[in-house]
Structure 1
Amino acid sequence: MVHSGIPEPSEKVRSLHARMTLEEKLAQLVGFWVDQGGEVVAPMADEMATSNKYEEATRHGLGHLTRVYGTRPVDPRERAEWLSAEQQRLRTQTRLGIPALVHEECLTGLAAWKAATFPTPLAWGAAFDPELVREMGAVIGRSMRQLGIHQGLAPVLDVIRDPRWGRVDECISEDPYVVGTIGTEYVRGLQSEGIDATLKHFVGYSASQSGRNHAPVHAGPREIADVLLPPFEMAIRDGGAHSVMNSYSEIDGVPVAADDTYLERLLRGEWGFDGVVVSDYFSVAFLQLMHGVAADRGEAAELALAAGVDVELPTGDAYLEPLAARIRAGLTDEAIVDRAVLRVLAQKERIGLLDDDFSFTAGDVDLDSAEHRDIARRLAEQSVVLLTNDGTLPLAAHAETTGRIALIGPNADSAEALMGCYSFANHVLAHHPDVPLGFDIPTVADAARAEWPLDELTVVAGCGVEDDDTSRIEDAVSAARAADIAIVVAGDRAGLFGRGTVGEGNDAETLELPGVQRELVERVVATGTPVVLVLLTGRPYAIDWAIRGEHAPNAVLQAFFPGEEGSAAITGILSGRVVPSGRLPVSLPRSAGAQPYSYLHPRLGGDSDVTATESEPVLPFGHGLSYTRFERTELTVDERVAAGASFTARVTVHNVGENAGSDVVQLYAHDEVASVTRPVAQLLGYARIDLQPGERAEVTFRVPTSRLAFSDRSMRKVVEPGGIQLWVGPSCAERETEARLMIEGDVHAVRPTDERLVKIEVSRSVAV
């Protein structure tokens, strides 16, 4: 029997619900976007602009206030005072006295003016540090709570399937376990401060056709079950996430927003989720406008509510008048409204909005405190990936001073280039060019001046991010010839819907660097001056020419929008003050034509002699260099384990270099024979460890065999008996130390109570 998804209502909720008119019920199921209009900060926002007056819209109460801090540059303290008064008005001047729930975007920090901007989620994945992401989630949640916000629209748990998709920078990794473990810790951090996390985008959004935003999804049920769904299940079962947002996708012709298969039967019935499902912005109306499965907004509302979408965001385009008219006409059963209202009221009661003494008073708040910046710095430093290095880096290894530095490239002196699409600066302030950022975010040029104060620094753009103008490249070439080292900072500019090169709606047909940036790099390299290429991007690009081409730079750094402390992290790595430790959370693609690609491919998904095309990436998942060397040896594994039980794997990691550093220990597996094809490599577990020169550590992985589970031919999630190859290496592609495990016994059907997480223990010893 399918779980109703409604927690047993309290007496207060039952009493409140019993008193409600239809209009009051519907008012609790919608948001109102106070500042909407003019700026495009959501898909089709201009077309969907509401004409309702705010006072009229709140006459019967209100479910959500939509992005009161995050739509326009409003002073946080002044807006908090307005919000305090508005909540008091809803309590005292509406019949039922129910305050509104306030939600905001918080993917790279609270999306509000003057708030800290952290690294983008793809950088979280590159850092491979769930605990630090939990710290970040907590400090973001604290800022939100101080401003009277209750729900955050994050994290994004979409698994990367195609780097051409514009929203890759919002995602964590191409590996579902990495997405799940890091995303779950973000949920825990945010919710530890009383902010409800909202898992996005449930489900399939990132698997869109040709990497196009809002395109159809053709994923099969096994890919959905084994790759796309696990991060959401982990964040709900292990992280206790309180809210879920539906995907815009249609899967095999059925829009998720109208499919109770996922939102009711799976999410609530199988996983036991008892929170609230909110619509992605305008996705209910899109059932009519973009999918064509509803004749009008009222029918769209019925489809969405029946499927399990409790709250329509950002406004009530479908759930108000259109739905009310259908109910009065006897076309829609009011029971589906009651189900959603009970869920919403239970959420409001849990977070205290129904308390008799509820009030919100704005106090002093620092949205970019020393704590914010410390976390931002540590996460940025851990996330930068050193892709190649012929010994040119670190620069401090060659001289006390670097000498003459040519800092070149369109991102060399740009603060916006350090931030992702959902940063407030790139999401909102791009529409307000005369408004200052409101917080400190040094550019790479600023950080270089601080890093090398005694050196001669010349800054030359050379070209724009995305235009075809080559007229300034010669200036960059001249600067490089006159320098001892040339640092070229290239990459993306995040934006939305055609504004920028990456971000929501900014999908790519090619994975070449935008504009004429490749020509800029190659001409600077041709000068003969040592060149370091720094990529500030929101997606991985096809840069085979820069990795091993005839005129490749001497070193390449990859930074995925590292946030407000990102420039200092980059220059610190260049100088040697910081030892790089980031690892690729997504394969470095060969070409756009080789997409979609995942390291989790079966044998037929890789290169072979039966095709003339190549799909293997330029650099593999998990790759990243350091300024020290690690040896990984002596992998030992239990010889046998029963299906459904857990096994132990131990490996020794030794820092054999001369510098302290951090290794990301990666344990991989391959199922030798199974009833369905299995990936050639699958990450089972990972551990970030810090080691001094000469220090050794034994890392123990306690691995539940459920990590090797998959959907069999009847779509049961099972662990099958058979041989498993295991290895540890610097990436998925290199088996530095190997072992073999035999799973024995009967096929084990995975249960909800089965352990899903790998437990890690580290013991250390210092070599004499």
Structure 2
Amino acid sequence: MLSNIELKKIIKNMTIEEKIGQINQPHFGWQIWFKENNEIYLTNEFKDFIKKFGGVGSIYGVLRTDPWTKKNFENSFINENEQRIVINKIKEYVIQNTRLKIPPLFSEEVTHGILTLFSNVLPTNISIGSSFDKEKFKIVLKYLRKELISKGINLALFSGLDIPKDKRWGRTEECFGEDPFLAAIFNNLLVKTIQKDNNVSVCLKHFVAYGSSEEGKNGLNSIIGNNELKEIHIKPALGAIKAGVDFMMVAYNEIDGIPCIVNKELLTNLLRKKLKYKGALMADGFAIDAMTGYICKNDYESASMALNAGVDISLWDKSFINLEQAINKNLIKMSQLDESVHRILSIKNKLGLFDKNKNYNVFEFDKFKENYKKNIIELAASASVVLKNENSLLPIKNPDKIKKVLLISRNDYDIYDQLGDYTSFQNKTESILDGVLKFFKNQNICIEQSNFNVKNDFIKKYDLVIVISGDSSKRNFDAEFLENGALKTSKIKTMTSGEGVDEIDLNLRIEEKYFFENVKHDKIITILTLAKPRIITDVVNKSKSILNIGYPGNYGNELIFKLLEGSLEPSGRLNHTFPIRENLNSLTYNNKNVKDYKYFNNDSEILFEFGYGLGYGEPTKIKILSLDLNKAYISIKNNTNINKVETLLIFGKKEFCLPTPRKSELVDFKKIRLKPFEEKKITVKFNNVFEKYNDLNSSIWIFNGINKIKVK
């Protein structure tokens, strides 16, 4: 590892072209290589860039395979080993054909698993957030880190900084929930786990208030005050900064009319100086170029405004390559360019890229795959939320009493409907639907299928009806995409969520909504795959049991089998407030409506509150054993003869303070695993790194998903 003096010496001896090369990420990585007669070749365009700029800071998406890239099993990698071969070939070319021999970073989307072939798909963030399960999330992240290293990826792009205000926003699925403390804790855990041992850097996106855009429309202006910015939207980043995150990606949106990408007050004065962020700032795709013709007259003005604001490295922008013009016209100083180069090279140095003897493909990942799969399924179970369970219909304990089952779903339902946006092609095809079929067929129970157009006269012939309803972020090959990969249009209207899929309301699809309004049957189990809090009032009224599994990842078939038989317990809690009707798109539990003001013509707004969730069986018993100003010592007991997973959320409420208090705020959360009749004693804290609730003017209570236990 080089010393800081050695790094500065390298920068001092660099040409301006070499410096510009190191702060650019200009390529669609999947386009810089191709195969011919089973040999890997690099394109002349890529080689010309390396020759001109003496290297490159980072290369995005060499391994990316999805409908946008048009790369799949037929025209891309034949196996995981070929992925490593391509990465190594590009790296070696850069080293061997440049004066300074500085390897590039290789960045890939890891929104919920690596966006490439032969990789697992994890539950999306909206599901992970509803697990409130730090322990299980950390285990899954450890395997993900091994997988990243095994493929040669050293820069992983994760979502995690966004808090959705208007839930119609298509990227709500990428958020950990509506609570900033929850997001901060998971971001902190993510950064610490992935960046451990300095093999992979994390880039968290998007800074800041991207989820607060007007009307839930992607990238529009965010109208928020300084206190709202601090209390809600900055907090998720603080968790990452505390963990030492290497990169953060700057958001597309404006805040009160100033685009984040050129907002010096935000990126330099607040983030770097006040919040002490030490890492690098990456532009989002084409965000700098988008300033040209909008607020800037030409490319080099756009580039200089971004660099002046605090941006260190671009993503696909052409304007950032023209920084030499900005220097020649005295729009930026060479010292500013050197600062950004130093940040990029410092991260490369930390990762060992200057160490010629470092082995980047440390792990043969095959030996970890079964344990990885097991923990993904368990995380998905921990994230699944029981919303209703009359007569303990779930799990299905006496299948022998069921003679005939009807399974209702969309005609085109497949594995991609359960995975979320930013998902690669899968070499397995079994979906949640297949898991339900397998469960009943294994019990020798007749199960038949239908779509949502089924009539009540037909339904009444069945003892039990299973309905699979909810969202889909399934992209398809005929879709048109914007230049940054967001969806533009699609002939097949399959998507209800994902980047560029912002909807006008929170209703279910028309055919599913109509079905629940009109269906008549006294034993319906509804399995929801929700990417955002939907209006499901009719679902609740017509179903005996409701299980929301969100987007559970590529083992959804095995997950639902285990949840139906009861070998895994769905122990999640809602990480969003669910509205009871239309036009309530921005409900949150931690608002400032302390007097509970309601619309004149609407008495009720909330269907399910933040933190709600039933689990299986009888709730655990909680007792307060002792109490002081900072914490409570409690006992929690499982009074059943089955294993029980309990989720406890600890809330605080302030009084008599400025800024004005919120109705409540999440202070802490715990996941507790109990054997039959087991009792555990634990400590719950009233303070966290952001908030203090140990004064006499604060209230504290514990919520187990059903009951609230007042502590003080």
Percent identical = 23
Q: CA RMSD in A?
A: 2.7
Shift in CA distance, 502/303, structure 1 to aligned 2, threshold 3 Å: same
Question: What does residue 130 of structure 2 align with?
Answer: 126
Structure 1 stretch displaced more, 490-499 or 168-177: 490-499
Pair 1:484 & 2:489 matched:
no
Amino acid at match of 1:12: E
Residue 254 to residue 362, structure 1, CA distance change in 2 (3 Å): same
How many residues are treated as equivalent by the alignment? 673
The code of the aligned residue for 1:22 comes to I
1:363 to partner: Cα distance: 8.0
Aligned to 2:234: 229
Deviation at residue 35 of structure 1 after TM alignment: 4.7
Contact 2:160–2:236 (CA under 8 A) maintained in structure 1: no
1:317 equivalent in structure 2: 318
For residues 539 and 175 of structure 2, the distance between their equivalents in structure 1, rounded to whole angstroms, comes to 25
Q: Distance in 2 between matches of 1:695 and 1:546?
A: 35
In structure 2, the partner of 1:532 is 525
Q: Is the 8 A contact 1:77 1:364 kept in 2?
A: no
Secondary structure at the residue paired with 1:594?
coil
CA distance in 1: counterparts of 2:221 and 2:83, whole angstroms: 39
2:2–2:349 Cα contact (<8 Å) kept: no
> Which of 58, 61, 79 in structure 2 is aligned with 1:64?
58
Q: Where does residue 35 of structure 2 map in the other structure?
A: none
Partner of 1:736: 708
Q: Does residue 509 of structure 1 match 2:504?
A: yes
Displacement after TM superposition at 1:638 (Å): 4.2
Q: What residue identity is the alignment partner of 1:140?
A: L
Cα displacement (A) at 1:307: 1.1
C-alpha deviation, 1:358, in angstroms = 5.3
Match 1:200 to one of 174, 191, 205? 205
Match of 2:36 in 1: none
Q: CA deviation at 1:323?
A: 2.1
Structure 2 partner of 1:351: 351
- Alignment map for 1:148-167 (pairs within 5 Å): 148-167=152-171
- Work out whether residues 405 and 446 of structure 2, in 8 Å CA contact, stay in contact via their aligned partners in 1: yes
Specify the alignment match of 1:754 in structure 2.
Answer: none
- Offset, 1:264: 1.7
Q: How far has the Cα of 1:545 moved from its partner?
A: 1.7
**3-state SS of paired residue (1:690):** strand
Question: What secondary structure sits across from 2:248 in the alignment?
Answer: strand
For residue 65 of structure 1, give the secondary structure of its aligned residue in structure 2. Answer: strand
Report deviation, 1:414: 1.4
Structure-2 residue corresponding to 1:308: 310
Partner of 1:712: none
1:627, 1:659 within 8 Å by CA — same for their partners in 2? Answer: no
Query: Post-superposition shift, 1:637?
Result: 6.3
**CA deviation digits over 1:112-143, x for unaligned, max 9?**
11111111111111111112212222211211
Which amino acid counterpart does residue 530 of structure 1 have in structure 2? Answer: K
Indicate whether 1:448 and 2:437 are aligned: yes
The answer on whether the counterparts of 1:154 and 1:199 sit within 8 Å (CA) in structure 2 is: yes
* Structure 1 residue 19: Cα displacement: 1.6
What is the rounded CA distance, in whole Å, between the counterparts of 1:373 and 1:411 in structure 2? Answer: 28
Corresponding position of 1:339: 339
- The residue number in structure 1 matching 2:421 is 421
Cα distance in 1 for residues equivalent to 2:360 and 2:707: 56
Post-superposition CA distance 1:651-710 (Å, at most 9, x none): 33232344321111122222132233212222211111122343333321133375535x
TM-score normalised according to structure 1 size: 0.82
Q: Which amino acid is 2:223 matched to?
A: H
Contact in 2 for aligned 1:107/1:120 (Cα 8 Å): yes
In structure 1, how many angstroms separate the alpha carbons of the residues matched to 2:688 and 2:353? 43
Match of 2:614 in 1: 625
CA deviations over 1:579-637 (Å, ceiling 9, x no partner):
221110111123341121210012357444x7333563200111111222224443366
Conserved 8 A contact 2:516-2:538: no
Q: What does residue 374 of structure 1 align with?
A: 374
**Quick one: distance in 2 between partners of 1:417 and 1:685?**
33
Cα deviation, residue 561, structure 1:
0.3
Determine which of 581, 600, 604 is the counterpart of 2:571.
581
Report the counterpart of residue 180 of structure 2 in structure 1.
176
Amino acid at match of 1:352: G
SS in 2 for 1:26: helix
TM-superposed deviation, 1:204: 0.4
* Counterpart amino acid of residue 415 in structure 1: I
| Residue of structure 2 equivalent to 1:44 | none
Is structure 2 residue 685 aligned with structure 1 residue 680? Answer: no
Query: What is the CA–CA distance in structure 2 between the aligned matches of 1:121 and 1:293, rounded to whole Å?
Result: 34
- Kindly tell me: are residues 708 and 259 of structure 1, through their superposed partners in 2, closer, same or farther at Cα, counting changes over 3 Å? same
Whether the 8 Å contact between 1:115 and 1:439 is mirrored in structure 2 is no
Q: 1:244, 1:277 within 8 Å by CA — same for their partners in 2? A: yes
**Which residue number corresponds to residue 45 of structure 2?**
53
Q: 25, 31, 50: which is aligned to 1:31?
A: 25
Equivalent pair of 1:159/1:176 in contact (CA under 8 Å): yes
Q: Does residue 1:473 correspond to 2:473, yes or no? A: no
TM-score (norm 2): 0.89
Identify the residue that residue 544 of structure 1 maps to in structure 2: 537
**Farther off after superposition, 553-562 or 440-449:** 440-449
CA deviations 1:407-459 (Å, max 9, x no partner) are 1111895111110112224xxxxxxxxxxx22465442245314641333444
Query: Within 2, Cα distance between the matches of 1:681 and 1:330?
Result: 51
2:562 corresponds to which letter in structure 1?
A: G
2:107 alignment partner AA:
H
